[in-house]
Structure 1
């Protein structure tokens, strides 16, 4: 076995990184083409084209294609914007031959044929639509949506929105000493269908198809069973087409030759058509449902002389059009309680324009010094001359700059606080402090004393005798990755043990899944979906592979020539699986785990979940972005370094807003804030728990690993103090296993002297930790 360097030797070897090459700005651009009015009724925009330049759309029709977007142009009319994108492919080569091709046992459901050929999203918010029977809900925020076909009275798209006073709370946990901050174990938003888009032609056999998968969006098409009978399901002549987009202000249905029908499981108390005619041929209905909430429905035919929509209540659950088949737009929105008149005026001014999706833009020019940023351009359709509104989350509003302006329209999200509608179709999100971190903590050499270094050296001489090979040859990608990373942090070099995985000779090798397109452990395909935490079902890839990427970066930093091509190819394959930044890579989906609207990753893969995607370990989430940045540094890929820094910076903001709950947190109910961490945050529920243990040290501690230089930047001292005082101090001395070591490393942020003394004695350690690194981490903390 090749002997590893001790930590102290490794510290001496921290030298200047290789000179970063200039960023190559050459790339392909795309044209944004306006299509004819007829193209809006192509359910998936089959005629959408991509060419070699980006141009501004014309504004000469009411109905324009999904690919039109005035926001993608510079302020000068007609000026072509040439982006210096940082979202270039890591590689476009096929996966390494060591990853044997293997079809997955889970097949995507109801996906349009031409979307099945490419990489498929596994961890996106709309995943429930393409899994199982496709009836589990999804959340665009603020609205929840669900395909309905099981209830004879509800056929089509169900729409839900829950106000804060309707959230349901779990039992109180006696674990907090924070005055006024409750500790309900969980809270959840019931899914109640307030409104539903349907057609009289739909029955229990009607169809739903999904396609046009994007970072923020997908497209749903609902069609009657007659289309399937005629063999025209892929190109139906009658349908409802619904763009499903994060943050959309209206639920928009594009109707083609169907008779509209609206349903409600809460029951409609009154249906009123607005007596005052609206501009541009729009009509408006108010639905007052039995819980006292008013919903608005707007409608306009696609032709100036087309028949207007006339609705009639059949019963409290069903409202049907008496005006016959309809071709045009129907848009639905909820009025916030207490702000009905003011909010209705905002909706009135914005009706007719809607978003069909968003484009993520990350450019080199957004990075200057220690700053960074990104842009979301919302693709517009309909009357793009209208005022466009879109809902923002708290972390968006903290960094939104430019022309985007807030309105007084506010609706609560399910698990992330209030959403405020902003005017503007181009969001510029600017982070003034971009996190840039090296392999070791900042200023460690001026903080760690010589006496501490001598003690660390003596401990390292003991730890280096550990059997690295044995301790990393495990039957879990997750635990093997943790072990590799702990030895890498100890020695900052680890070759032989890493070599096993680089050659794919571990107990359960990785295979390339030809169905969904990704790298998965063979273990789950052989032993069941939950093996290795569901890795084979695309659970937790950002946790698992982040450890390997971190290890590879350390090896490359200290020995740049060792199996250089093999290390690069292996690491890039893992990165492409979990964080491929470009659709030009045909072998992996774009940003499998990271959600650029939510600002963090989702852990859950291809499992049906009634509460949507979830995230558990925020610290292992940030470890991936940290590892991506380090790998960009050592592999001379500055765009990856900066991308990792940006994702880490965004995740810090969202973690501090939504996951690590300080006493004054306003994004979660007061009945829950006393838990201090969310535990498992779903799209529709928050549960103060873990998937593996109900112990308080596990629920809190899973947010503390691995203890890298990135961790203290996310865990604010104020939060650590509050969590320690209210939850951990009474429990820590009762813990007898390795979780205590995790809590004590965290406590070092408050009292490094006491934490240092703790690690001087014989203590049980977490399986991802060495005593040498624990001592160095604590010693290097800022006082």
Structure 2
């Protein structure tokens, strides 16, 4: 990431007793480089490798030398919504000498994974392709089966296109690069020996125009796809393609929203596939440019703190800083420890913003005392270590306990934990430049764990490319090397935003313009994705009406599921759902919650839950903070009644937030942030 030269740093190497062996599924040539741990195809390389993954628009499952494809139906109720897998089409070799051999991942990229069923089948699984593309590498008899009954089977005269109608109402089309002889029975199609390209696509609509579109673009197929960071706040998708003609892909709703009007693509507005993420729309073109709204990374509040509030904030600040000495950190958890570090760093920036610098030395000492042991390995019962098998930082506690540090040792939540530490490091380096220079190598090593841009095969990087960030969905995943039937998941989008925001702050303090640019872009995209898929507005049509009616914010968002429940709380604890998608309270929070009308809906939906017995004071604080966006005085009075705060929050921080709100609002109920336009 960083283009400046300085002494590289690697945390001490360790051997984990809980991590899976990557050699079971990755091709040997990939094992010498860091490997992905939160990717869209992660299930393919965990345990038996036979749990499905959602590679839009299909759910894909590989097992026993076959690959099954599902165009999933959607189940929804007020609590959750998910896509149902069924083996609509299963492809295998009918004369495979090793019927129980597992698949091999032979290559992967940001937007694609190549899965081999040896010895002869290679699948180019490219995200957003309406076709499943299979290369038959040597003469092989194919078996194409289904759990449904085949009602009709119609070849064209050239025997290069076959229309397959099933008794569940689906129609699939099979294309071949050269003539192929196929015979069928009730639920299976068998071929003579064939070598070449097979493409299979569902016909999502009985409209004949859909079939003509699939016919037209069937001869051009993508074999890989990657994302390129070129211009500020832009990412470009580039596909490597073969065959001839133009390339047809599908875009999710956020892609359509961000697609640059000037890029050379054609959007097929009427060519759509269903998806849990919203309708997927056809786009023709070899590359797309996505342009996000620019986000200014600021240390302090965006519009400033009201002067008359300074005395109140100073009183709270003095008390909170004094409490740093009296409340020693007892936790050894990398997550909770990081939150406490970041909480103290917030106090320093608030003190700086309101010009009350008397408390800065005490905060600086506290930050040094808490951060340094994690960077120099003297913390004792925990600390950061380097895992060579996958290529990344794990903790002592996580190296022999898969549940330790919330699964940090199996690559769960890396951006959450490290993001809090980066925030503290950035602030400490800002107020103590000598300290910042001394610990810069360790700081960059932590940041690189989830912010590395290079690919391991093309550099000497010790970390995989963008460990947590999904460059097709444009948000992060948090769940690491754990097999889940519904794929990767993420609970707290706000902590993901914090991770990239904190990396950008670190870039600011070290004068690293490249880091600032990339981290700002990722921050912006994470915010866009949060507002698209996590924030559920009353008039949204993205999700089913019954789910939308009962939910204003997501609990856990999975690749293949939307859940109202949290990992740590039931769905009816709405204050927890709100809070886990607000914390930590920062200047960037205003951008994340820039839609004031949505904030009003979210708070009104949450407030009744605060009447439940046992509601935590810390969670109330985040509800009141959002209420303060549109009901400032009412929220302030409620904040003054709090008797405790979230372990990453303080009264000082809540007062800073309330007194830095602004009444600027456009006709659509949206804040004008950054002072140059209403978003």
CA distance in 1, matches of 2:532, 2:4: 31
For 2:142, which of 260, 267, 276 is the aligned residue?
260
* Aligned counterparts of 1:90 and 1:350: Cα–Cα separation in 2: 45
**2:274 counterpart (388, 412, 437):** 412
State TM-score, norm by structure 1.
0.78
**How far, CA to CA, are the matches of 2:326 and 2:477 in structure 1?**
32
The structure-2 alpha-carbon separation of the partners of 1:762 and 1:222, relative to structure 1 and needing over 3 Å to count, comes to closer
1:329 aligns with 2:189: no
The correspondence for 1:502, drawn from 372, 375, 381, is: 375
Q: Which residue of 2 aligns with 1:399?
A: 258
Contact 1:626–1:648, Cα closer than 8 Å, also in 2: yes
Cα 1:636–1:736 change in 2 (3 A) is closer
Q: Secondary structure of the equivalent of 1:326?
A: strand
Matched, 1:483 2:340: yes
* Structure-1 separation of matches of 2:436 and 2:169: 68
Q: Which residue of 2 aligns with 1:435?
A: 295
**Is 1:135 matched up with 2:30?**
no
The aligned runs of 1:470-619 (5 Å cut-off) are: 471-492=328-349, 493=364, 494-506=367-379, 507-526=381-400, 528-562=401-435, 564-566=437-439, 568-583=440-455, 584-619=459-494
1:691–1:592 distance in 2 versus 1, CA, 3 Å? same
**For the residues of structure 1 that align with 2:536 and 2:640, how far apart are their CA atoms?**
32
Corresponding residue for residue 43 of structure 1: none
Is 1:270 the counterpart of 2:152? The answer is: yes
Q: Give the conservation status (yes or no) of the 8 Å contact 2:25–2:104.
A: yes
Q: Deviations over 1:204-243 (max 9, x none)?
A: 42341112122222211112xxxxxxxxxxxxxx411111
Q: Paired residue for 1:776, among 651, 656, 667?
A: 656
Q: Which among 199, 202, 208 is matched to residue 103 of structure 2?
A: 208
Establish whether residue 387 from structure 1 lines up as the match of residue 277 from structure 2: no
CA-to-aligned-CA distance 1:508-549 (integer Å, 9 cap, x gap)? 1121011101001121233x2122211111000011111111
1:683-762 matched pairs, under 5 angstroms:
683-694=559-570, 695-715=573-593, 716-725=595-604, 727-734=605-612, 735-762=615-642
Moved more, 199-208 or 675-684: 199-208
2-side partners of 1:681 and 1:157: how far apart? 26
Change (3 A) 1:199 1:532: same
What does the per-residue CA deviation read over 1:636-682, in whole Å, with 9 as the maximum and x for residues that have no partner?
A: 10111111111111122111111101112222111211301121111
Q: Distance in 1 between matches of 2:175 and 2:578?
A: 47
Alpha-carbon spacing, 1:696–1:761, altered in 2? closer, same or farther (3 Å)? closer
Q: Which runs of 5+ in 2 are unaligned?
A: 350-363, 664-679
Q: Find the aligned partners of 2:468 and 2:622 in 1 and give their Cα distance.
A: 26
On the 8 A contact 1:102/1:511 being kept in 2, the answer is no
Q: What does 1:227-376 correspond to in 2, within 5 Å? A: 238-255=119-136, 256-275=138-157, 277=158, 283-301=160-178, 308-313=179-184, 315-321=185-191, 323=192, 325-339=193-207, 341-363=208-230, 366-367=231-232, 372-376=233-237
Pairing partner for 1:169 from 53, 70, 76 = 76
Aligned residue for 2:525, secondary structure, equals: helix
Q: What's the CA shift for 1:469?
A: 8.6
Q: 1:92 to 1:577 in 2, by over 3 A?
A: farther
User: 1:92 and 1:358 mapped to 2: Cα distance?
Assistant: 33
- Gap change, CA 1:649 and 1:90, over 3 Å in 2: farther
Deviation at 1:746, TM superposition (A): 1.8
- Show CA shifts across 1:312-361 (max 9, x none): 11x3221101x3x211010000111343x111111111112111111221
The 2-side partners of 1:637 and 1:555 are apart by 17
Structure 1 residue 576, shift from structure 2 partner: 0.8
For 2:93 and 2:511, the matched residues in 1 are separated by 56
Deviation at 1:626, TM superposition (A): 0.8
Take 2:142 and 2:258, find their aligned partners in 1: how far apart are those partners? 41
Structure with more of its chain in helix, by fraction: 2
Q: Greater shift after overlay, 613-622 or 666-675?
A: 666-675
Shifted more, 502-511 versus 253-262: the winner is 502-511
TM-score (norm 2): 0.90
CA distance in 1 between partners of 2:4 and 2:242 (Å): 32
Count of residue pairs the alignment pairs up: 630
1:198 corresponds to which residue?
A: 92
Aligned residue for 1:621? Answer: 496
Residues 603 and 626 of structure 2 are in contact (CA less than 8 Å); yes or no, is this contact kept in structure 1?
A: no
1:101 to 14, 37, 48: 14
Q: Distance in 2 between matches of 1:102 and 1:89?
A: 30
- Asked whether the 8 Å contact 1:92–1:586 carries over to 2, the reply is no
Hey, what's the Cα distance between the residues in 2 that align with 1:90 and 1:603? 29
Displacement of 1:94 in angstroms is 5.8
* Contact kept in structure 2, 1:619 and 1:703, CA below 8 Å: yes
2: CA distance between counterparts of 1:515 and 1:92?
A: 25
- List runs of 5+ in structure 1 lacking aligned partners: 1-86, 150-154, 171-183, 224-237, 302-307
Q: Which residue of 1 aligns with 2:675?
A: none
Relative to structure 1, the CA distance from residue 112 to residue 713 in structure 2 (aligned partners, 3 Å threshold; closer, same or farther) is same
Contact 2:406-2:413 at 8 Å conserved across structures: yes
Q: CA deviation at 1:296?
A: 0.3
Determine helix, strand or coil for the equivalent of 1:346: helix
CA 112–95 in structure 1, closer or farther in 2 if over 3 Å, else same = farther
CA contact (8 A) 2:341 2:371 kept: yes
Corresponding residue for residue 352 of structure 2: none
